[in-house]
Structure 1
Amino acid sequence: MINKQIRLILATCVLSTIAACAPVDRWGAVQPDYEALLRRTGTPPIEIPEEVLPSMAQPVPLPVPAEGQALPLSVEEAIMISLQYNRDLHVRQLNPVIAGTFEQIARGVFDPEVFAEMQYYRERASETSRATGEQFGTQGSDTSVVAGVRQSLPTGTELEATVEHERNLSNRTPDQQTARVGLSVTQSLLRGFGPAVNMIDVRQAALDHSASLYELRGYIEALVADTEIAYWNYVLAEQEIAIFENAAKVASQQRDEIEQRIAVGVLPRIEAAASRAEVALREQALIDARSQLESQRLRLVRLLGPGAAAGLDLQVRPTTGPAIDAQPITDLPERLQLAEQARPDINEARLRLQQDRLEVLVTKNGLLPRLELFAGLGRTGYADTFSQSVKELDGDTYDFTAGLRFSHFLGNRSAEARHVAARATRRQSAEAVANLLQIVRLDVHLAATEVERTRQQISATAATRALQEQTLVAEKERFDVGASTSLLVAQAQRDLLTIQIAEVEAVINYRTALVQLYLSEGSLLERRGIRLGDPQRP
């Protein structure tokens, strides 16, 4: 018997030595194939709730380009396509879905929990009789089963109900079976008392979900603004190319006329240099304009999303013109008030402030000692069979427990520090909201100022362009009679080209300034007829 035990100990030592030389986590048998496991289990798709899916009040059908042709695209269609296919938006739409689960996680603390435990114990031993000193063998077994349900309540109450059965068998004592039912209650009296404290996690999670919706709304507004601005920049690039092409054509005609006059001896050869340089400058500007057009196309297509058509190779033909009836801003106070109420970032900041205020309540409650009142009541039945032990529960046997449990940290430095940190965070959030309100007002003022500037520039550049056209005509007439030079004519052409570009830019800049104004006041989605789930307002 002893040799057998020695061999068992030696075998255990050898196996332990081998295991130490080869770490368990590096054994091939415990290296799972996660890819195969994922393929077998699968992943159910996540449903995106309607509240995070933007929709147009008047849906626009998606345009379909003809084969080998550019996609005809209005500004409304560009916005709708970006809202449906933009990959970055798809990523951000999942943030509210994730944040929405935290409230259910917080509420899950109060879900009832069912538990059960079964235990079997067997023993064989040797005992010595105190009377005779004789050794005798004993053997027995115990079987116990416990089942019940427990639940935490928002009031700070812990409830637990149990049903137990125990069976004791032994060759030295009679068989005995015990049945018991019990109920225990534990109530927090200081720390953790009442729904006002215990429901804070649920409330904070709900606020976090609403804040994530405002964050998504802010991103969607920025996406709509970026798409619309990119559209108008592409329109501007196209119009600039048309202006540069026309200017290059005029410069070529002017060069040809001058060279013909030089050929017949009307003008000296020195006059050809200015006209040729002007043609070269127009070709150089046209190259830059075409490159700018391609850059603007790529930016616009990227915002539309690769899934819209052929990815970055998609060719676009704008169908919405930039012409607009520019109106002055006469309701700035109302716009400021709207921005303070509707801006997503300010609403998100207010919700974060509410979260921090609730955290102060949590840490303030954490300063209190832990004092709990507990009580337990049970009834027990004893018999030699299971059925009889259950019947005996109607007897007069019972057990009752009641008492108080107290604990508190001397000095309580950790709780004090957490409370100070929570109060400082609340103050910081309040200051951040006040600062953000100033920034919002500044944004609206600056955007309104830019709208007014660009509105006035539209009429100013149109008048300047008309006068510059007259200047060019007069300069050509003087050149025809020999009172001017080709250099002065080229300068007049460049001045006209500059103001033509400025006139087109003024209209596009006004369009862009309007978008920025609507974005700064938080009304861009409503003005573009886009609906989005309305989160809880702070």
Structure 2
Amino acid sequence: MPRFMNRSKGSDLRMRAIHFTFRAALVTGGLLVGLMFPSFLLWAAEPAPAAPSPTDRRQGLTLIEAVAQALERNLDISVSRQNKNIRLTDIIFEQAKFDPTVSANGQYGRQVSPLNRPVFGLSGAALSDIQKFDQNNSQLTLDMTQNLLTGANYDINFAPQRTFVAGPTTFLFNPSWSSGLAVTLTQPLLRNFGVEVNRTFIQIAQNNVKLEEQILRDRILTVVAAVEQAYWELVFAYENLKVAQAALKAAEELLASNRAKAKAGVMSIVDVLQAEAAVASRVEQVLIAEKAIGDQQDQFRRLLNPAEEELRAETRIVPLDPPAKTLEAISLTEAIDTAIARRPEILQAGKNIDTSQLNVQFAKNQMLPNLSFQGTGGMAGLGNDVGNTLSRNFGGDYYNYGAGLVLSYPLGNRSAVSQYNKRQLEAKNAVSTLQNVRQQVIVGVKEAVRRVQTDFKRIETTRSARIMAEKQLQAERERLNVGLSTTRFVLDFQRDLATAQGNELRATVDYNKSLSNLTRTTGTTLEKYRIELQQS
């Protein structure tokens, strides 16, 4: 025994298993087990140490807390949220195409050029003298243009100008002020005519935002379902360890009893060796169960997306919620109707149909001839100062206007026709996709409901089997005490009880996982946890 005193608990268990396995046929193996038995029994009797070391850190966690952590930290969900924000910018981009554009242009110019003629009104000048023409121009041009939802485009242009010619001139005003106001309107009459056609890409952008919302919803459902499944598997791992420890304790108690009887001469050494071999086997099961807890904890912790230092830590996550064992009332018809109304995949498919119909209508419009009405109108003014010029400009005495039609049409129009055919095929595919998704959802809900019902029946069946196994073991122990049975039979019934307990535990955990799957299948996870998504 002294050579094992400094070993860790895990190493101690492994060494015991080795000795029990390879020395089960030797009496000295039985003596070694007898020396090691007291400390081992104390460990096996309690699932958790009475005085944990400072490094044995535990974190109790409810299912709701686990879901909240996963939703807050999950990277896929974070990406989906950002994708939705990106789609929101697409709406603004499409709407901005109908914003007015304003421009201003200021210019100054001077022209000094020779005149190949006398300046009229200049007396005493010789014909051979070269006169200069010196003109200064200052101009400001203001312009505003905008695309309208009807498909029209207008342009308003206002351009005041000041002109000054140095020296004598024949101009009426020097300096002179002139201004012009011009309005141009272009309105498509066939192709690109109407509000619905010109709002197509705004509506598509809005549909894409709705799609991203459903993608986000789907990812939340997926993450929550994965956390629930892993949580119940962690519950199973802990409970399975208790089953293994209970089986080990029962085997050790039988070993102690057999040793006492062998010492009293009423039992053979073979019964002692059989009990020792059983203890070794039970030690192995405890080690396997301990490892399963560690593995499942790492998988569960990974779903919570912790920081790397948290992932490196050896903190034991202890699930606090017990598994449900009562049957929930389920209506198959209501479950199917709920799934069809709430499943993100169906809502996505519906939005895809809306988008495809918008594309079909737009492509159909693009096959029309390009016939546009164009109208122009303007007013002008002239004076020796700004006030006179503007007064004459808007007085309506000097004006111009015009109107016309412009028609263009590509011969054959193959590009527009092929695009229209393409959009029609895409629309048919969208409808088929929705039908396919609905069928998959209906089948999935029916399978999920059957799974819940079956797993609950498994709980009842395995519970009955476990109760029978307990009674059989108790009866066989009583037979052994009066010499009517053997150690082998008792060990077999102990193993049967452990198997029955494990089966009941597995059925219970599977039932809870099935409930989680049903919630995921019907799309009611958000309502279950009262999760609200911000709608656009």
TM-score tier, shorter chain, comes to 0.7 to 0.9
Matched, 1:70 2:58: yes
Matched, 1:113 2:114: no
* Alignment partners' CA distance in 1, 2:100 and 2:386: 28
| Aligned residue-pair number | 469
Contact residue 227 and residue 300 of structure 1 kept, 8 A: yes
Q: Deviations over 1:15-39 (max 9, x none)?
A: xxxxxxxxxxxxxxxxxxxxxxxxx
CA RMSD of aligned residues (A): 3.2
* Alignment partners' CA distance in 2, 1:405 and 1:310: 71
Contact residue 181 and residue 380 of structure 2 kept, 8 A: yes
* Alignment partners' CA distance in 1, 2:391 and 2:401: 20
SS of 1:290's equivalent in the other structure is helix
* Structure 1 match to 2:522: 521
Q: 1:365 to 1:395 in 2, by over 3 A?
A: closer
Matches within 5 A, 1:488-507: 488-507=489-508
Matched, 1:220 2:208: no
Matches within 5 A, 1:411-490: 411-480=412-481, 484-490=485-491
Deviation at 1:343, TM superposition (A): 1.2
Deviation at 1:151, TM superposition (A): 1.9
Deviation at 1:387, TM superposition (A): 4.4
Q: Deviations over 1:116-150 (max 9, x none)?
A: 222344556678779x9998876655443211322
The TM-score, its normalising length taken from structure 1, stands at 0.78
Range that drifts further, 257-266 or 386-395: 257-266
* Structure 2 match to 1:241: 241
* Alignment partners' CA distance in 2, 1:267 and 1:411: 105
* Alignment partners' CA distance in 1, 2:195 and 2:527: 39
* Structure 2 match to 1:207: 207
* Structure 2 match to 1:289: 289
* Structure 2 match to 1:345: 345
* Alignment partners' CA distance in 2, 1:121 and 1:487: 116
Q: 1:133 to 1:493 in 2, by over 3 A?
A: farther
* Structure 2 match to 1:159: 154
Q: 1:143 to 1:353 in 2, by over 3 A?
A: same
* Alignment partners' CA distance in 1, 2:113 and 2:497: 113
* Structure 1 match to 2:41: none
Deviation at 1:108, TM superposition (A): 1.9
Q: Deviations over 1:457-487 (max 9, x none)?
A: 0110000011112233344445556655544
Q: 1:121 to 1:277 in 2, by over 3 A?
A: farther
SS of 2:405's equivalent in the other structure is strand
Q: Deviations over 1:410-451 (max 9, x none)?
A: 222221221111111111110000000000001101100100
Structure 1 portions without partners, runs of 5+: 1-65
Matched, 1:369 2:369: yes
Q: Deviations over 1:319-346 (max 9, x none)?
A: 22114322454x1112111211121210
Contact residue 324 and residue 512 of structure 2 kept, 8 A: no
Q: 1:164 to 1:514 in 2, by over 3 A?
A: same
* Structure 2 match to 1:334: 334
Contact residue 189 and residue 373 of structure 1 kept, 8 A: yes
SS of 2:153's equivalent in the other structure is strand
Deviation at 1:98, TM superposition (A): 2.2
Range that drifts further, 112-121 or 184-193: 112-121
Structure 2 portions without partners, runs of 5+: 1-53, 119-126
Q: 1:256 to 1:119 in 2, by over 3 A?
A: farther
Letter in 1 for 2:85: V
SS of 1:532's equivalent in the other structure is coil
Task: Give percent identity, aligned residues only.
Answer: 28
Letter in 2 for 1:510: Y
Q: Deviations over 1:248-285 (max 9, x none)?
A: 22223333444555566655555555433332332222
Structure 1 residue aligned with 2:139, among 124, 144, 147?
Answer: 144
* Alignment partners' CA distance in 2, 1:185 and 1:514: 64
Contact residue 85 and residue 307 of structure 1 kept, 8 A: no
* Alignment partners' CA distance in 2, 1:119 and 1:279: 102
The TM-score, its normalising length taken from structure 2, stands at 0.78
* Alignment partners' CA distance in 1, 2:291 and 2:483: 39
* Alignment partners' CA distance in 2, 1:81 and 1:439: 31
Q: Deviations over 1:94-129 (max 9, x none)?
A: 222222232222222222222222234455667877
Bigger Rg over Cα: 2
